[in-house]
Amino acid sequence: MFDKQTFAISIDALLSHKLRTLLTMLGVIFGVGAVIAMLSIGEGAKQEALEQISILGINNIIVQAKIPDASLSSDLGLSKSSGLSIADGENILKFDALFKNIVPQRFEAVSSVYYGSEEVNARVVATTPDYVYSSSVEVEKGRFINQIDLDSYSQICVLGAKAKRALFAFSNPIGKDIKIGDVSFTVVGIMADKYIGRGKVEGFELKNLNEDIYIPYSTATKKLERSTINNSNTRSGRHFMMKVDESKYNIPEVDQLTITVTDLKYVQSATKLIESILSRRHHGVDDYKIVVPESLLRQSQKTQQIFNIVMGAIAGISLLVGGIGIMNIMLATVLERTKEIGIRRAVGATRVHIMRQFLIEAVTICLTGCVVGIVIGLTLAKVISYYADWPTIVSAYSIILSVGVSTAVGVGFGLYPANKAAKLNVIDSLRYE
């Protein structure tokens, strides 16, 4: 039952020693602030990983062409493998119970894209209409590539948001022509701006889709020369190509196949099936790499969970130290106020009243420190996000956890001093000087 008089006595006791009370709170303040800041970093990283995986497509399996290690394959085996191809995708798609669709992509060896005097270093992606269904990209204005474009080898293109800004600034590019290499392409659409974050998930580098320019796959095969494997990496914004010794290796027909699985639960078994098909078709030559976004997500979540546990434990040590500080101060307070306790007991206060008084003081210190710590934690999260360029998200869970732990610290570390105060002998307390 709430006792207003005991509560008032407890608050008066705390306010009569403001500096001591503040110093006692510091451990809790820094502990709570650290918990919220650390968990906000973990939550932000988790959300960023989810967004990055969603770009790749959680139901997707990505097969990328790569240059094989000549030391691991014979020259005969290398010459037999045709490299990653449309036929690979067609063979995989025969298992239509597992796979919904397959989207080929070629990253064209074009050094620059021009519009008038404006020039931009962009990644030119030759693909099919299904590309928008296999990824999270969306058309903001105009349209994407359609089947008619493929059938008629149309010289049309769709600009990524960053590529559009670099070439056209704030003007409308729809219907205007740009030069990709020596070929003119008419802009028919603009993609929505997509947040990429730091561009890496569990060691897998994500490309900035905003820099991409999309053209029909059929047009690229007919009108753009292909003589290299495009590794589609960037250094200082420029694409570089990895040259292939054509006397040993066959140039792959496509640089990437994005395979959409019908159901998320089939991803692991579908991955093994793809590995089996490609190994057979490529004669055991390791000239492709399989990336599974779902596996990347699980690994990322595991990493973040470990990170949160470690950071939470480190921050929790501050709360533990704060709790020990509270117990020490409360024990000193009990000793200092022994005569006061004796007088209260003599005029009718029970042991329960005395215990409640000191518990209220301990919990009040912790909860007040918690409130200040929450404010500091929120501020720290914003500062980290602004200056370190790390995404931070303060969840309700972290605040509830901080309040709960602070209350537990107040009760746990205040219980012993309160119990000691309640058990003091009345006569001895009155005689205490």
Same domain, yes or no: 288 and 305: no
The per-residue pLDDT for range 323-359, each reduced to its tens digit, is 888 888 888 888 888 888 888 888 888 888 888 888 8
Q: Per mean pLDDT, which range of 9-13, 152-156, 177-181 is the poorest?
A: 9-13
Give the mean pLDDT of 292-299.
Answer: 82
Cβ 166 vs Cβ 118: under 8 Å: yes
For residue 344 the two structure tokens come to 């209260």
Same domain, yes or no: 364 and 397: yes
Q: Residue 389 class from Cβ within 10 Å (0-12 exposed, 13-18 middle, 19+ buried)?
A: exposed
The pLDDT confidence band at residue 243, using thresholds 50, 70 and 90, is very low
CA angle 338–343–344, rounded 5-degree value:
95
Cβ 58 vs Cβ 327: under 8 Å: no
Same domain, yes or no: 194 and 173: yes
Same domain, yes or no: 65 and 48: no
Give the mean pLDDT of 152-158.
Answer: 95
Distance CA 66, CA 277 (A): 17
**Cβ atoms < 10 Å from Cβ of 430:** 14
| Residue 244 confidence (pLDDT) above 80 | no
- Give the CA distances from residue 336 to residues 68, 144, 344, in Å, rounded to whole numbers and listed in that order: 79, 78, 14
**Cβ atoms < 10 Å from Cβ of 91:** 16
Same domain, yes or no: 38 and 145: no
Same domain, yes or no: 266 and 322: no
- List the one residue out of 228, 223, 238, 402 whose CA is nearest residue 315: 402
Same domain, yes or no: 241 and 371: no
The residue among 269, 294, 319 that closes a domain is 294
Distance CA 354, CA 10 (A): 10
* The residue type at 185: F
Cβ 47 vs Cβ 197: under 8 Å: no
pLDDT of residue 220: 92
The residue among 294, 309, 330 that closes a domain is 294
Q: How far is CA 18 from the centre of its chain?
A: 43
Same domain, yes or no: 68 and 213: yes
pLDDT of residue 14: 83
The pLDDT confidence band at residue 376, using thresholds 50, 70 and 90, is very high
| Residue 196 confidence (pLDDT) above 80 | no
Distance CA 401, CA 43 (A): 14
The pLDDT confidence band at residue 238, using thresholds 50, 70 and 90, is very low
Same domain, yes or no: 108 and 225: yes
The residue among 242, 269, 294 that closes a domain is 294
Q: Are strands 200-201 and 123-127 parallel, antiparallel or unpaired?
A: unpaired
Report which DSSP code applies to 17: T
Give the mean pLDDT of 91-117.
Answer: 88
Give the mean pLDDT of 89-113.
Answer: 88
The pLDDT confidence band at residue 78, using thresholds 50, 70 and 90, is low
Q: How many domains does the chain have?
A: 2
Cβ 39 vs Cβ 270: under 8 Å: no
**Cβ atoms < 10 Å from Cβ of 387:** 8
Give the mean pLDDT of 289-296.
Answer: 86
Q: How far is CA 387 from the centre of its chain?
A: 18
Q: How far is CA 117 from the centre of its chain?
A: 39
Q: Per mean pLDDT, which range of 53-57, 123-127, 263-267, 311-315 is the poorest?
A: 311-315
pLDDT of residue 172: 92
Indicate the SS3 state at residue 199. Answer: coil
Same domain, yes or no: 324 and 342: yes
| Residue 214 confidence (pLDDT) above 60 | yes
Distance CA 355, CA 418 (A): 5
Cβ 319 vs Cβ 31: under 8 Å: yes
The pLDDT confidence band at residue 242, using thresholds 50, 70 and 90, is very low
pLDDT of residue 82: 78
Cβ 106 vs Cβ 274: under 8 Å: no
pLDDT of residue 77: 55
E strands present in 91-201 = 99-108, 113-115, 118-120, 123-127, 139-142, 156-159, 177-180, 183-191, 200-201
For residue 69 the two structure tokens come to 């290690």
Same domain, yes or no: 131 and 46: no
Give me the DSSP letters along 190-259. Answer: EEPP---TTSEETTEEPP-GGGEEEEEHHHHHHHS---SEEEEEEETTEEEEE---TTT-PPPS-SEEEE
Mean pLDDT of the chain: 82
Domain span at residue 204 reads: 59-294
Q: Per mean pLDDT, which range of 33-47, 165-179, 301-315 is the poorest?
A: 301-315
With both helix axes pointing from N to C terminus, report the angle between 293-336 and 338-346 in degrees, rounded to the nearest 10.
70
List of residues 6+ apart from 96 with CB closer than 8 A: none
Same domain, yes or no: 160 and 273: yes
